[in-house]
Amino acid sequence: QRFHARATSSGRTAAPPTMRASYDSALLAAVQRQLAAFQQNFEHSQREYHQADRLRDAALARLEEKMTASEGMGARVDKRIGELSGSCKGLSDEMQAQIRRVDFLDKRFWEQRHELEDDLNKKISDMEHGIQKAPTSMRALSQALEEQHKGLARRLHRLETDFGERHVTHEDTRSEVYNILARL
């Protein structure tokens, strides 16, 4: 009880392992949800990239068909080719921008993932260290309590012995007083 009083008088109480485990599992679930959301965004960007790639390929195929069909049209064809070339250039620029964006997101995803893994590994290591220290602390506390119990048992035994001796002395004194009173 004296140990318990010290622990509560400091104002700090240790969180039970179940609370710590539930906190860690809730944290892990939140991280997993964030990773899943990021992965969905990444996959969506990849689908858009592939769709744009197919659209560009289809546009290029149509352009080639039109070019072969209109080779004899001269200036008008050249003008149209210029327009289509500008469109392709725009698409290409847009594709490059999308590629850079996807690369940036991919890089950011991997950085965050590595950070998260490092943080989780550190927390797991700290938890394992705490779990490994717990039995030692419990053994030390158990030994301290056992020694305290033995000390109290020895003290109680001394008090009982001392009380028994005093009781005998008291009884002897009492009988002597009665003897003296009886003589008077």
- Per mean pLDDT, which range of 44-58, 59-73, 141-155 is the poorest? 59-73
pLDDT digits (tens, 9 = 90+) for 8-58: 444 555 556 677 878 888 888 889 999 899 999 989 988 888 898 888 889
pLDDT digits (tens, 9 = 90+) for 68-79: 776 666 667 678
Round to whole Å and give the CA distance between 97 and 25.
39
pLDDT digits (tens, 9 = 90+) for 86-140: 888 998 999 999 999 999 999 999 999 999 999 999 999 998 888 888 888 888 8
Q: Are 57 and 99 in contact (CB under 8 A)?
A: no
Round to whole Å and give the CA distance between 174 and 161.
20
Q: Enter the tokens of residue 131.
A: 């779990």
93 CA to centre of own chain: 42
Round to whole Å and give the CA distance between 88 and 62.
12
